[in-house]
Chains A and B, each alone.
Chain A
Amino acid sequence: MKAKKIINDPRNVVPELLEGLMLAYHGRIRKLEGVNALVKTELPQDKVGLLIGGGSGHEPLFHGFIGDNMADGAACGNIFAAPTPDVILAATRALNQGKGVLYLYGNYAGDNMNFDIAAEMAAEEGIATRTVRIWDDVASAPPERVDQRRGIAGDLFVIKVAGAAAATLDSLDEVYRVTAKARDRVRSMGVAVSAGSLPETGEPTFTLGPDEIEIGMGLHGEAGVSREKLLPADALVDKMMQRILADLPFRRGDEVCLLINDLGATTMMELLIVNRRVRQILEQEGIAVHDTVMGSFCTSQEMAGFSISLMQLDEELKRYYNMPARSFGYTRA
């Protein structure tokens, strides 16, 4: 059965959502001519550029995270597809103010290749770029192959820190260093309860039985670690937290930021019930929570489920995390 969606012609989904997003920004961002790239209307002078990007359809990720002390621009792909090198290159040119541009995006084959091609083209034009790929999903590969892991909701924390660093620090290498550190200290895991569907076809991206869930399933229906019968929230959170905590590992005395992210169709009520159990576990483990973020940040259409992300703080990351930030999808006063 085709999913019900409130759209017009499916082929116009991306341009129409970008138009809607721009209007919601009230002139603070603009679209570059001829390509699906959005950049801040007023760029602070002489700063290192921060360019994020990826497939559309995960809103507010990525393009909803452009803003003050957040990203300077976003390269937007089609639904669930990486942006093309011409889009990334156009955004790179727009953001470069002589200090280079940091590329920050989720670790997927398509994004990696397209951003790499754009980086080579930028280098030919004399624009310096560096790249941080986000790979926070502990379910997608074992720790020794961390560079094969996917980027999921932990993107938010890395973008938050990178945005603050890029607003503060003077060199591309320094912004890279802080951003890579944030990336290396974030761990996430998700669970899928029911599938989202592609707007172009209306077809679900995967199938789950009526009482089945998949722990660790990716944003595009990529296989997770186990398919199980639906569990009570506490038992489910226990399983997820066990893997997340053991992975970094997070230790007694650590201070973390906590994100509980809705994948598209899970209610705040459910997220709050999840949060209750997450905090019980963290309390038990002697891990302090510096800040809690809950809501829809990294979604996959009407996919139901949620993910938990933790970022381990040190003094430097905490300083950048605490800076105010303003964007469509995330604001910190």
Chain B
Amino acid sequence: MTKTSLTIAETAQMLLHMCRGMQASKDLLSEADRAIGDGDHGIGMARGFEVAQQKLESQSATTLDELFKTVGMALLTSVGGAAGAVFGTLFRSGARNLAVLENFDTAALASLLNDGLQAVQERGKAQVGDKTMVDALQPAAARAQELLSIPLAEALPQIAEAARLGMERTKDMVAMVGKARTLGERTLGHPDPGALSTYLILKYMAEYVTGSTRTEEG
């Protein structure tokens, strides 16, 4: 019964599950942001994924790239700040090679994450180790690339785990870019909120694909 891939309709359901999960994670994300920023990350992300959910529900996308671009545009236009630009770019530019695909499998996810990573790094100029979402996204994208031929339901939890470990490593990093940069060493010991969001996005995708549907408690 291991799911190898998702149809376009199932992919939409996965993204809706992710949107609900991210909204439920609002307080968790704001809490993380309060430690190293101005504490509004959860508010912005919850607003963005609420709009994304509305857009997904109100339109029936016929291609995979439309689905992910819908999420990307919603985040880009409703989260605000750096987070909106970065996460909007992840979905919007990550979808650039999905147009021709009929099914969302591990290779499609790898394409999303790797194209998204490249675009995010071009946009934000962040490198691995700068204590940003790149520190969770890069290992996830690399893991996906290693698991290309594995069924999606087996690969996604491992990819999410790679993101989680990357997020955990940001606790030992000093912020190098963004507003948190000027807090310098005061950011030690706290995970980067964007890295946490990146992990949660993949975690909620994995939950849907594996059939477990617990959402993170704030």
Contact = CB atoms under 8 A, between A and B. Distances in A.
B81 A220 contact: no
A278 B187 CA distance: 35
What secondary structure prevails in chain B residues at the interface with A? helix
B124 to A, nearest CB: 6
A86 B123 CA distance: 17
A113 B39 contact: no
Contacts of A82: 80-82, 84-85
A87 B85 CA distance: 13
A223 B76 contact: no
Interface stretch (B9-17, B63-71, B177-185): B177-185
A263 to B, nearest CB: 15
Interface string B69-87: 0000000111111111110
Interface string A202-227: 01010000000000001011110000
Residue of B44, B80, B123, B178 contacting most chain A CB atoms (<10 Å)? B80
B38 interface: yes
A55 B186 CA distance: 24
Interface in B32-66: 34, 38-40, 43-44
Contacts of B86: 113
A1 interface: no
Contacts of A110: 80-85, 178-179
A211 to B, nearest CB: 21
A80 B40 contact: yes
A85 B182 contact: no
Nearest to B183: A223
A167 interface: no
Given A84-B78, A223-B182, A114 B40 contact: no
Nearest to B180: A222
Interface in B77-127: 77-86, 88-89, 123-124
A234 interface: no
A80 B38 contact: yes
B82 A86 contact: no
A77 B80 contact: yes
A272 interface: no
A221 B82 CA distance: 17
Contacts of A86: 76-77
A200 B34 CA distance: 13
A102 B40 CA distance: 29
A77 to B, nearest CB: 5
What secondary structure prevails in chain A residues at the interface with B? loop
A310 B124 CA distance: 30
B39 A109 contact: no
B189 to A, nearest CB: 16
Interface residues of A, number: 32
Contacts of B88: 117
Contact of A83 (B40, B80, B124, B177): B80
Interface string A74-102: 00011111111111000000000000000
Contacts of B186: 223
A129 interface: no
Contact of A113 (B82, B179, B181, B182): B82
A222 B183 contact: yes
Contacts of A198: 38-40
Contacts of A116: 123
A80 B44 CA distance: 12
A8 interface: no
Contacts of B85: 82, 85, 110, 113-114, 117
A79 B182 CA distance: 20
A99 B101 CA distance: 42
Contact of B123 (A79, A84, A117): A117
Contacts of A171: none
Contacts of A221: 38
Contacts of A201: 39
Contact of B124 (A109, A140, A222): A109
Contacts of B79: 84
Nearest to B177: A109
Interface string A101-119: 0000000111001101100
Query: A-B pairs with the 8 shortest C-beta distances?
Result: A113-B85, A110-B82, A222-B182, A81-B81, A81-B80, A110-B81, A109-B178, A109-B82
17 contacts: A78-B80, A80-B38, A80-B40, A81-B44, A81-B80, A82-B82, A84-B84, A85-B76, A108-B179, A109-B179, A113-B85, A114-B84, A201-B39, A203-B34, A220-B38, A222-B182, A223-B182
Given A108-B179, A116-B123, A117-B123, 4 more contacts: A84-B78, A109-B82, A109-B124, A110-B178
